[in-house]
Amino acid sequence: MCGGVRRGLGPGRKADAGADRVTRGASSGRACRPVKEPHRLCRSVEEPHRERGGASVCLLVVGLALVLAGMFGAAVGAARAARQQAAVAADFGALAGAGRALDGDEAACSAAAEIAGRNGGRLLVCRLDDLDVLVTAEVSVTVLPGLTRVATASARAGPLRG
């Protein structure tokens, strides 16, 4: 003990026997000096901890992974929703065109384009095959910021044949 204080002990820590001894000059009043190195597990209060902040870094990495997984899930969901929207636009466009198939190619395709546009799509191909109308529609979707894709779908509608 040096001046009644053991060095290298923080609150709640026990010292190894002899690991932290210091000597004092008999009556000369010389300064204390350590006899041997303190044990690595018994760090002094002043020594910085190398592991400090490690949990914060791990938490940030886990948080980033969760954000990326969420963005990936949102991108897949947006792409699936756009595919469904394109299918609906093509189906309804084909039905609208089939209703006007007797009026000719031009009337059937204009009705199909109008209905496809009202359903969020854009008509790409419209063809009249006898009384059947074949329609292809597309929908643009931004799956991630800066990443735009196009979903397409085709549909056929016409009278029931027996």
The answer to whether the beta carbons of residues 44 and 8 sit under 8 Å apart is yes
pLDDT at 47 exceeding the cut of 60: no
Which pLDDT tens digit goes with each residue over 98-154? 999 999 999 999 999 999 999 999 999 999 998 899 999 999 999 888 899 999 999
Structure letter (DSSP) for residue 12: T
Domain spans in the chain, listed from the N-terminal domain onward: 54-157
Side-chain-facing half-sphere of 57: CA atoms under 13 Å: 4
Nearest to 140 by CA among 81, 94, 90, 93: 81
Q: Please state the pTM of the whole predicted model.
A: 0.63
